[in-house]
Amino acid sequence: MSLVLYDTLRRDKVPFDPRIEGEASVYVCGPTVQAEAHVGHGRLAVVTDVLRRYLGFRGYQVTFVQNVTDIEDKIILKARREQVAPAVVATRYTHLWNRTMDTLNVRPPDIQPFATGHVLEMQGLIQELIDQDKAYEVGGDVFFRVRSFPGYGKLSRRQVDDMQQGEDVVDADRKEDPLDFAMWKSAKPDEPSWPSPWGDGRPGWHIECSAMAAKHLGEGFDIHCGGLDLVFPHHENEIAQHEAAHGGTFARNWVHNGMVRMGDEKMSKSIGNVVALAEALERWGVGPLRLWYLSAQHRTPLTFASERLQDAVAVHQRFVTFVRSARAAAGDVTPDPAVGERHRDAFVAAMDDDLNAPAAVATLHELVSDGNDRLGRATAGDEAARAEVAALAALLVEICDEVLGLGLDDTLAQAAALESRLAPMVDGVLASREKARADRDFATADAIRDQLTAAGIVVEDGPDGPRWYTAVQVPPALEE
């Protein structure tokens, strides 16, 4: 068995065959830091974080690079509106991005290169292309000569004559060919600029990624990730710039994720239908939010709907509840790992198939059902059953927390802290319920239990008397 990934370039699922055995180098196009992250951004973050964690789980030594685009038209525009320097805007939103990623339980990149820190590398690549006659300078701007690169269009499978770069019309009369795109833009008044052989100016967006990926991961690194909306022109141009200059292969695999949709449209800042990622985290919590992102295979579109997030809250709660009950029943028994093997194999088989997260989560539901079937015997003290549920709970936590980043253990630790604060009160209320039961006043006993349930406290009656814990409250549906 080996990991198979769908490669956009080859339009096929292909076995992962790294450049160096046992290692995996991954580059992800990072944020343009000019606004806070929204739920659409969270999908790429979670998909690539799970890819990275899963590669680690499968034994690969992973190097994960995600850049920060800290110089770009939108940053300059925002800075002008706020009457501050573009670097102020970029710094503020870089901090905010990193903090939100942290809350989303996304591991920080091993390397987080900033575009403004790599201007020399970008200029070096541009100069190589000019020297090879694959780029040209006009009035301080430098354009890539698209028709000089025969492989142009291979990623997006477009015909050269059907393509448009979507750049400023301003450039149109200065380009040799409308298809050419800017790698270096001459300085405009009040804009940040760097000296260069072609006069003061700043880099274009596409050259940033070509230069930073090659610098930090080298030629022919393993996996380049990004949203499907970046295939053309951004990724097509990244390939062209690198491969036109150096030959060889820029990236061995292209993994793209589908968009998050709001109704029938893509969730995007320009359409104005975004939900802030920090707000979604606050509302649904990190585990449920990540489960929602993983509820669709990563290449397919995913529609934002609060009912689906409520479903994810329920799944998260089911997993947490099983771990809690299993640990309570198992006590300090030595786990019996044999019982988990088929569940581990099923999870790996699902993930190996192009990171099929919905299928992988389905295997975890089977694990929990299997565990719940043994829980009765374990709670009754059956030694073998206790060892089995202990192993199943440990495996569930290992997979959910290490690979999927759901934070089951964190949730349980937070619940335990809350429960220890509530204990004096709840124990008192339960004592009065026990007294009502002893007096055969079942109406009062039931009313007390209903009040606790309404307050988010679940009471379970067992042979040793009642046991209670706090349940996650499912937030009500959003007005849409």
CA–CA distance from 225 to each of 28, 46, 67 (Å)? Answer: 5, 12, 12
Q: Which is nearer to Zn ion, 18 or 31 (CB)?
A: 31
Buried b (16+ CB within 10 A) or exposed e, 425-459: ebeebbeebeebbeeeeeeebeebbeebeeeebeb
Amino acid letter, 143: F
Least distance from C-beta 20 to Zn ion, angstroms?
Answer: 23
Q: Which is nearer to Zn ion, 55 or 213 (CB)?
A: 213
* SS3 at position 259: coil
Instruction: Decide if residue 155 touches Zn ion (CB under 5 A).
Output: no
Site for Zn ion in 206-265 (CB under 5 A): 209
Least distance from C-beta 29 to Zn ion, angstroms?
Answer: 3
Beta bridge partner(s), residue 303: 261
Instruction: Decide if residue 5 touches Zn ion (CB under 5 A).
Output: no
Nearest-10 Cα torsion for 51, 55, 58, 63: -160
Least distance from C-beta 35 to Zn ion, angstroms?
Answer: 18
In the shown chain, the binding pattern of residues 180 to 209 toward Zn ion, with x for contact by CB under 5 A and - for none, equals -----------------------------x
Q: Which is nearer to Zn ion, 24 or 29 (CB)?
A: 29
Least distance from C-beta 209 to Zn ion, angstroms?
Answer: 3
Instruction: Decide if residue 44 touches Zn ion (CB under 5 A).
Output: no
Q: Which is nearer to Zn ion, 110 or 434 (CB)?
A: 110
Look-up: residue for tokens 């270096």?
A: 184
**Phi, psi angle pair for 89, to nearest 5°:** -60, -45
Instruction: Decide if residue 125 touches Zn ion (CB under 5 A).
Output: no
Q: Which is nearer to Zn ion, 106 or 209 (CB)?
A: 209
DSSP strand E in 119-192: where? 135-138, 141-144, 181-186
Least distance from C-beta 384 to Zn ion, angstroms?
Answer: 54
Beta bridge partner(s), residue 223: 26, 253
443, 414 Cβ separation under 8 angstroms: no
Q: What is the β-pairing status of strands 23-28 and 221-227?
A: parallel
Q: Tell me which stretch binds Zn ion (CB under 5 A): 22-30, 97-105, 158-166, 447-455.
A: 22-30
Residues that contact Zn ion, how many (by CB under 5 A): 2
Among 9, 26, 28, 29, which residue interacts with Zn ion (rule: CB under 5 A)? 29
Q: Which is nearer to Zn ion, 183 or 330 (CB)?
A: 183
Least distance from C-beta 81 to Zn ion, angstroms?
Answer: 25
CA–CA distance from 226 to each of 29, 115, 290 (Å)? Answer: 6, 17, 18
Look-up: residue for tokens 């009765």?
A: 376
Q: Tell me which stretch binds Zn ion (CB under 5 A): 23-31, 186-194, 247-255, 299-307.
A: 23-31
Instruction: Decide if residue 33 touches Zn ion (CB under 5 A).
Output: no
* Measured distance CA(348)–CA(320) in Å, rounded: 21
Cβ atoms within 10 Å of 192's Cβ, excluding its own? 19
Q: Which is nearer to Zn ion, 27 or 322 (CB)?
A: 27
Q: Which is nearer to Zn ion, 3 or 251 (CB)?
A: 251
Least distance from C-beta 234 to Zn ion, angstroms?
Answer: 5
Least distance from C-beta 67 to Zn ion, angstroms?
Answer: 7
Q: Which residues are at the interface with Zn ion (CB under 5 A)?
A: 29, 209
